Amino acid sequence: MEKYRFTYQDIHRTARDIADRVKASGFEPDIIVAIGSGGFIPARIIRTFLGKPILAVGVAYYDANDKPTDLPHKVQWIEEAEKKLAGKRILLVDEVDDSRTTLEYCVRELLRHDPAEVAVAVLHDKKKDKRGAIPAEVKRYFAGRTIPDKWIVYPWDAEDIDDHDAMAADNPPID
Ligand code: G4P
Ligand code: MG
């Protein structure tokens, strides 16, 4: 199967591009919410350009007995901090918009706390039919790159980062 491999350099450039577009849109987040674990590194790089604090959330597709669940559920949430989300502008960050299920779930959970606005940013949006939908309350959606529906290998999953970077030179075409 053809895969896309992105290097840390690629990811950094894509994150900066997202931050530039967030700024250009006039959206000034008060807080970045990172969806773990794939959203942690992208959120941290975006913070370099937007300079806002990061809160982390985690969701899982497995229950307490390790059985697959159809929908995501919380495994780590911002319980104390979520009391402070009312009236705040939130930038929700993840690495990939694949089925959109996790993103929909996280947006809905955040909306329960009366934020002023929730915007979504992902490094990569896969062109495909999505199982989930971004709620209509979300007026701003930033995808660093829109790519065909193929598996992405991120640099943080590489066991040999030099091999990974070398193979990234042979990515399938994107456009
Ligand atoms: P979505 O709402 O953002 O589309 O996420 P979805 O629920 O469809 O994704 C389920 C899991 O599959 C997520 O990981 C997501 O990051 C991962 N995933 C989907 N497509 C790719 C891909 O092309 N490459 C990689 N590396 N991962 C992909 P997760 O369960 O949240 O785990 P984590 O890796 O973020 O900790
Ligand atoms: Mg993820």
Hey, where are the domains in the chain? 3-168
Higher local confidence (pLDDT), 152 or 80: 152
pTM: 0.93
CB of 7 shorter than 6 A to ligand 1? no
Q: Does 100 have pLDDT greater than 70?
A: yes
H helix runs in 28-160, sequence order: 40-50, 101-111
Q: Which two tokens stand for residue 81?
A: 């901090």
Q: Using an 8 Å Cβ cutoff, are 123 and 145 in contact?
A: yes
81: pLDDT confidence band, cut at 50, 70 and 90?
Answer: low
Which CATH code is given to the segment(s) 3-168? 3.40.50.2020
Catalytic annotation present for 98 = yes
What phi and psi values does residue 35 have, to the nearest 5 degrees? -90, 115
Average pLDDT of the residues in 103-126: 96
- In this structure, the residue with its CA closest to atom 8 of ligand 1 is 99
Average pLDDT of the residues in 116-141: 98
Q: Using an 8 Å Cβ cutoff, are 58 and 76 in contact?
A: yes
Provide the 8-state DSSP code for 171.
P
- In this structure, the residue with its CA closest to atom 14 of ligand 1 is 38
Helices 8-24, 40-50: crossing angle, 10 deg rounding = 50
Q: What is the pLDDT of residues 2-32, one digit of tens each?
A: 999 999 999 999 999 999 999 999 999 999 9
| Of 73, 102, 105, 152, best ligand 1 pocket probe by most atoms within 8 Å of the beta carbon | 102
Question: Residue 98 — left, alpha, or beta (φ > 0 → left; ψ -120 to 50 → alpha)?
Answer: alpha
What is the whole-number distance in angstroms between the Cα of residue 100 and the centre of ligand 1?
A: 9
Which of 39, 49, 54 has its CA nearest to residue 121? 39
